[in-house]
Amino acid sequence: MTSFPPGIDPGASGAACADLPLSGLTVLDLSIARAGPAAVRLLSDWGADVIRVEPPPPQDRGSVTGRRRGSDEQNLHRNKRSLCLDLKTPQGAEVLARLVRRSDVVVENFRSVVKQRLGLTYDDLSAINPRVILASISGFGQDGPYCERPGLDQIVQGMSGLSSVTGEPGQGPLRVGIAISDTTAGMFLGQGILLALLHRARTGRGQWVHTSLIEGMLNKLDFQATRYTVDGEVPTQQGNAHPTLVPMGTYRCRDGVVNIAASTDRMWANFCRTVEAGWLLDDPAFQTAAGRAAERRRLDAAINQCTAAFTAAELTARLNAAGVPCGPVFDIGQAFEDAQVRHLRMTRPAEHPVLGPLALLRSPINLSAAPHPERFARAAPDPGEHTDEILRGLGYDDAGIAALREASVAS
């Protein structure tokens, strides 16, 4: 288990929210699953006051993370407050309207028919608050033949083509080991929200920002996509080898495997000299990039013959010193205990009243004018943990809150 970096007190207070660039912004998080909350996490990490709205029991459908108070739940929803509210009731709709009047951003991932039924279209929200930004995320887009389909990461990995270029040749499509389409779409929606906030600063008007899992993944295909859209070539699986650059891939060493990238003429020459394989430099077939690509299979076999004489540590040290990128293949535990990762301090503590201090992943963005707080403002809330606090902030008195609870509108 990852421990806290030396000198970090899990209970120490960090930078005040007022010091963070999104302080003063209020975000209403109506999203479920992973992509929407991932977008909201970007905003909450940088100071936005995020109010997460969830259905009250027994309507609560649980969490996509699988377990309340689990590590995934804590990492996905840290720095947020929770309000349990039944949006389907007139009283719930009134609470929602009060929230929208005070919000800068509303994030949701409902189907279009649900948005219309709940009064959550952009036209509905902008009539309440012309400055509000509606940020929507879906599986396949807000219109078109698949717009009402549920979109899940596994499905989109397959439909985007990502699975077709992942894995070893001839072994069939393979899923990437993380929820890549969810987190990618969440990142893009977060960027879209920031763009909309910049636009509002100039014009005073909100707008509708939306993206989808399929759009995010098609964009993420990047050079593999343009091999088709520009060149007409359909990329295929290449295993651990780079699809276009040679040699670049995973090679044997005495105690496992390493990744090596020696695809330029200079790096190729430095590689051969460093592993004392001058005979590879003398081979006419390997003297040009085109020749090395054409003879990839024979070249990889020759490289494995050379690298097998060294340990991973030896190759990593020698090749990097020679200007040839090389690195070990870690499991996740080894990655987080690596010296460079420890130096970067990719975790920060969050204090949970029951679970105690939790080492959660910080934002990967670094701002010189707003250093990362030493700790998260709060751990992920239990459903409805801040219901009374939020309702009081909206102007409800104790009697009004009690009435909402009695009617099971809030909990």
Of residues 215, 216, 234, 214, the one with CA closest to residue 224: 234
Compute the distance between CA of residue 86 and CA of residue 264 in angstroms, rounded to an integer.
Answer: 60
110 touches 30 (CB < 8 A):
yes
Under DSSP, the state recorded for 85 is B
Whether the CA torsion 290, 295, 296, 301 is positive or negative: it is negative
Q: Is 182 a catalytic residue?
A: yes
Of residues 288, 289, 268, 264, the one with CA closest to residue 278: 268
Give the SS3 label for residue 103: coil
* Identified catalytic residue from 86, 104, 153, 182: 182
> Hey, what's the torsion of the CAs at 22, 23, 24, 25, to 10 degrees?
40
283 touches 292 (CB < 8 A):
no
Structure tokens at 67: 């377990």
Rama region for 172: left / alpha / beta (φ>0; ψ in -120 to 50; rest): left
Whether the CA torsion 296, 298, 300, 306 is positive or negative: it is negative
Catalytic residue set: 182
